[in-house]
A and B are shown apart, each in its own frame.
Chain A
Amino acid sequence: MHFWRLRDQKFVLKRLLLMSTLKTPPFFPHRHLLGIEGLSPQDIAALLDFAEEEIDVSRQVEKKKSVLRGRTQINLFFEASTRTQSSFELAGKRLGADVMNMSVSSSSVKKGETLVDTAMTLNAMNPDILVMRHHSAGAAALLAQQVDCSVINAGDGAHEHPTQALLDALTIRRHKGSLARLTVAICGDVLHSRVARSNILLLNAMDARVRVVAPSTLLPAGIERMGVEVFRDMKEGLQGADVVMMLRLQRERMAGAFVPSVREYFRYHGLDAEKLACARPDALVMHPGPMNRGVEIDPAIADGPNSVIREQVEMGVAVRMAVLEALSQHLPNRGGRG
């Protein structure tokens, strides 16, 4: 018994010591995270700095903080997503929140309930944070108007996916030191990609040079006015790039609708060794996942020395922890319960 008690004491001491070394979250002047749009470079830098701390937490044996203890986080996913949903779930749990997952297949949306009705219903359950992915652009903003809690956009249609852009930025910054003046080529289905839009906004805000590389059928109208250089030829687009960000091509868009076939897409827009050779030798290869190996990326490149794709996943949890913690400053009764 005595032995056990001693161990307990040591453990508590260790934890107290550890917590005192952790920084408090930076002041974050927003109640919701609906997009990168509206964030200042300072906001972004603060979130990234803070995410660095969260990486340390996630690498400990005891991956736990208590800033969200007693708080309720609901992950509301109208689109299936293993990766983002589990990343948010883990982030919430590591901060001590009670996390509930709701996915569309089991929800009342299938029974005809509107998004606003769903929001009101959930709101009545007094959640503290709602994380939502929805297939329609603007859905997160609509939700935020209807509920009292903080809303995090985990992807709304082809509009924004802010935590993906933040985790990409964190990954790049850890390898390159800074985002400023880096040349980043975003390649593939820009037209349908919320990841591309959030990344374009973030990278521009942080002073990077952004290129988009895609067949014309996969470029949204007026993209050149969003502060990017547009390339249709991938080798030209990758010339001297510091970072190559690949985007996923949805299966239903492969055969004839936007591009003629998988083999033609891979030939001209798939990242292989020959095209990657146009980028800088130390270029980072990134992909938000899930990958279509042999469609937008050669398996050898995905697993090659330039690839940081798996690291992006780790950074995802850290960034989401940082966002959750930053938003928690605005939760009611702060200090009263925590």
Chain B
Amino acid sequence: MAHPSNNRSSNSVHIRNGRIICARQKLDEISDLLIIDGRIAAMGPAGKLAVSNEDIPALDVSGKVVLPGFVDMQVNVGEPGEEHKETLATASAAAAAGGITTIVTTPDTDPVIDDPALVDFMLRRARDTAIVKVHPSAALTKGQAGKEMTEFGLLKEAGAVAFSSGHRALENAVILRRALTYARDFDSLIIHHAEDPNLAADGVMNEGENASRLGLPGIPHEAELIMIDRDIRMAALTQSRCHIAQLSTAAGVAAIRTAKAAGIPVTAGVSINHLSLNEIDIGGYRTFFKLSPPLRLEDDRQALIDGVADGTIDVVVSNHDPQNVEAKRHPFAEAESGAIGLETLFSAAMRLVHDERLSLLDLVRAVSDTPARLLGLPAGSLEVGTDADIAIADLNEPWIASEDQFRSRSKNTAFEDARFSGRIVQTFVSGQSVFSLDQA
């Protein structure tokens, strides 16, 4: 793990009168939080916390909420190889502005992160340039070619927190089986992109009436469902942890729900995009809404939200995927897929909270508590003794997302000009302020 290195300011602070929400401790109360030397030292009723050291600066956050910093399990950074799209520095600045204090990078860079030396490179670059914590996930197969598994043991020792198939599914069930079996020995998490590549073929959006009207090749729901069913069977066979990176369909949610009820060690994520948008948003070929997996129907979106609320879906990710203008300024079918999302994750999720589709506690569980636990990271909670990775939010702050505010080097947002209520106002990593809206 790479910690931010700059020690310019003190990393002790007394956060006062905040509404503290922590899913792991099932906490939602007005309290004071004392941070000393980068760690949460104490928590107590507002105004009653004994602060021995008068020098510790106080920060009054009356009316605001104090959340455990978010752990984003799926962040695409352009580094190494595509630094013109994003670097660890710009991605981490964007993350900090979104309340995300830990990012897990995807391995589909150039070169692919499939060697311990490359994990080491990522950690060194992150240590030198990033302002939030960075944990690389490593490739599941060498060169992401889908043929030979990578060195899970050595990569984990080097610092890889999970093994991901990236943007491609592992077509061959035997290779997935062996990878899951081998990963079990190291208690490693395998993250799989569940989309049958043959069924998806050259599809660029959800298959159905809309794709037909637009004249675009579609991807059927079954491309996801068949892969999820297979992965569930493989997780059951190997008794090894398999995480479906992103669900996009109602049937996929139902399949995971059934599998979990049967005790199969499978977990799932969903991107904030799929919780917020549906295929109608593509409108007249808007390439910023071209995503993988594709945006589906409104019924799917509703089922995905239900899945997060009832815990079937374990984590919500940004699936931050920076693409430069050139890559997006193409006819829809030829444009790159992906959208940035670090800076809008919380605000977009707050729409679901304001609509009473999701409780704040459910949201915090899905963006902080569970991802940290799945990855085995000491993060995602406000427990005393842990690193003070904290996001402070104003739940009702209105703002309009506009391209020029984004810290991300690429501007391909699916929320251009979106009106939000709720925003991150300050972010701490190990007790150090890495973002403050006042100073932005």
Contact = CB atoms under 8 A, between A and B. Distances in A.
B116 to A, nearest CB: 9
Interface string A207-229: 00000000111000000000000
B151 A217 contact: no
Interface stretch (A89-97, A137-145, A262-270): A262-270
Nearest to A214: B185
Contacts of B150: 260
Interface string B213-236: 000000000000000000000000
A256 B154 contact: no
B151 A260 contact: yes
A215 B154 contact: no
Contacts of B153: 260, 264, 267-268
A261 B151 contact: yes
Contacts of A263: 151, 154
B137 to A, nearest CB: 16
B168 interface: no
A256 B147 contact: yes
Contact of B185 (A232, A255, A257, A261): A232
B185 A260 contact: no
A259 B142 contact: no
27 contacts: A215-B182, A216-B182, A216-B184, A216-B185, A216-B238, A217-B178, A217-B182, A232-B185, A255-B148, A256-B141, A256-B142, A257-B148, A258-B178, A258-B182, A259-B182, A260-B142, A260-B149, A260-B150, A260-B151, A260-B153, A260-B182, A263-B154, A264-B153, A264-B154, A267-B153, A267-B154, A268-B153
A222 to B, nearest CB: 13
Interface range on chain A: under 10, 10 to 19, 20 to 34, or 35 or more? 10 to 19
Contact of B148 (A216, A232, A256): A256
A255 B141 CA distance: 11
Interface in B163-196: 178, 181-182, 184-185
Interface in A187-243: 215-217, 232-233
Contacts of B151: 260-261, 263-264
B206 to A, nearest CB: 35
Contacts of A233: 185
Contacts of A216: 181-182, 184-185, 238
B152 interface: yes
Contacts of B141: 256
Given A256-B148, A257-B148, A260-B153, 14 more contacts: A216-B185, A232-B185, A256-B141, A256-B147, A256-B149, A258-B178, A258-B182, A260-B142, A260-B148, A260-B152, A260-B182, A261-B151, A263-B154, A267-B153
Contacts of A255: 148
B151 to A, nearest CB: 4
Interface in B121-155: 141-142, 147-154
Contacts of A256: 141-142, 147-149
Contacts of B184: 216, 232
A241 to B, nearest CB: 19
Nearest to B239: A216
A217 B148 contact: no
A264 B148 CA distance: 13
Nearest to B237: A221
A216 B239 CA distance: 11
Nearest to B154: A264
Contacts of B149: 256, 260
B178 A257 contact: yes
A233 B186 CA distance: 9
Nearest to A261: B151
Contacts of A259: 182
**Which 10 pairs between the two chains have the least Cβ-Cβ distance?**
A256-B148, A264-B151, A260-B151, A232-B185, A216-B181, A217-B182, A217-B181, A217-B178, A260-B149, A216-B185
Contacts of A232: 184-185
Interface in A132-188: none
A248 B147 CA distance: 23
A215 B178 CA distance: 11
B165 to A, nearest CB: 15
Contacts of B142: 256, 260
A270 to B, nearest CB: 12
A268 B181 CA distance: 15
Nearest to B150: A260
Nearest to A264: B151
A189 to B, nearest CB: 13
A191 to B, nearest CB: 11
Contacts of A261: 151
A261 B154 CA distance: 10
B204 to A, nearest CB: 32
Which one of B149, B154, B184 has the highest number of Cβ atoms from chain A below 10 Å of its Cβ?
A: B149
Interface in B302-319: none
A256 B149 CA distance: 5
B177 to A, nearest CB: 9
A216 B238 CA distance: 9
A335 to B, nearest CB: 56
A267 B141 CA distance: 19
Interface string A264-287: 100110000000000000000000
Which one of A217, A259, A260, A261 has the highest number of Cβ atoms from chain B below 10 Å of its Cβ?
A: A260
B234 to A, nearest CB: 13
A7 B324 CA distance: 98
A282 to B, nearest CB: 29
Contacts of A268: 153
